[in-house]
Amino acid sequence: MEAIEDVDYLVVGAGAMGMAFADALTTAADVSVAIVDRRHGAGGHWLDAYGFVRLHQSSAFYGVASTLLGGGRVQAEGPERGLHERASAAEVGEYYARVLARLTATGRVVFHGRSAYLGDRRFESLLSGILKYQQALKKIQTAALN
Ligand SMILES: Cc1cc2nc3c(=O)[nH]c(=O)nc-3n(C[C@H](O)[C@H](O)[C@H](O)COP(=O)(O)OP(=O)(O)OC[C@H]3O[C@@H](n4cnc5c(N)ncnc54)[C@H](O)[C@@H]3O)c2cc1C
């Protein structure tokens, strides 16, 4: 088992909840954050959804606080004419990829994809085997561990 450089926060799950936490943490404070997820990227279950599946609510009210999802457009035709746009799964996936790229570009966020959190600050990476943070100061678990 390999020890890796410590972080202030360890966020389990890069779905909507984990990404909102990581975004808020790094916006509000000068802290380092590691995000661990079994999937290859950010977005949680949206990465597995058919592309045509859409949000139930307006895009503008979904996602992380720092970055608008969609263009704030109002639909001009169809049964939802006059209502705000609702992003498709493909758009939600692209959005979270963009947010994750922005977060990691700050140098304060590291993402461990294809990695299953095992508890006790340990996770198993498909590429690197079992890794452990020695002293992540805080752990935020946004996903029911399964
Ligand atoms: C069709 C559809 C439309 C929806 N529309 C809306 C909407 O408009 N508004 C709204 O608020 N909600 C909506 N939802 C609900 C949606 O579930 C939430 O918005 C949100 O995506 C859930 O995010 P999450 O982070 O809680 O969970 P998830 O998306 O499930 O993410 C959890 C992540 O944690 C990871 N994980 C779990 N256990 C481990 C582990 N041990 N180690 C590593 N990683 C782990 C998983 O791999 C996963 O990527 C919709 C859902 C569906 C299906």
pLDDT digits (tens, 9 = 90+) for 66-82: 999 999 999 999 999 99
Q: 36 versus 5: which is more confidently predicted?
A: 36
- Is the pLDDT assigned to residue 146 strictly greater than 70? no
- Is the pLDDT assigned to residue 86 strictly greater than 80? yes
Confidence band of 109 (pLDDT split at 50, 70, 90): very high
The percent of residues in the chain predicted with pLDDT above 90, rounded, is 77
CA dist 39 and 80 (Å) reads 33
Task: Kindly give the number of the ligand 1 atom that is closest to the alpha carbon of 117.
Answer: 42
Global pTM value: 0.93
* DSSP type of residue 74: B
Which residues make Cβ contacts (< 8 Å) with residue 28, sequence separation at least 6? none
The residue whose CA is least distant from atom 2 of ligand 1 is 55
Do 56 and 88 touch, CB atoms closer than 8 A? Answer: no
Out of 15-29, 30-44, 128-142, pick the least confident.
128-142
- Is the pLDDT assigned to residue 121 strictly greater than 90? no
The residue whose CA is least distant from atom 34 of ligand 1 is 13
Distance 43 CA to ligand 1 centre (A): 7
Distance 2 CA to ligand 1 centre (A): 29
- Is the pLDDT assigned to residue 1 strictly greater than 70? no
Q: What is the pLDDT of residue 144?
A: 60
CA dist 117 and 120 (Å) reads 9
Q: What is the pLDDT of residue 68?
A: 97
Tell me if 63 CB under 6 Å of ligand 1.
Answer: no
Average pLDDT, the chain: 91
- Is the pLDDT assigned to residue 129 strictly greater than 60? yes
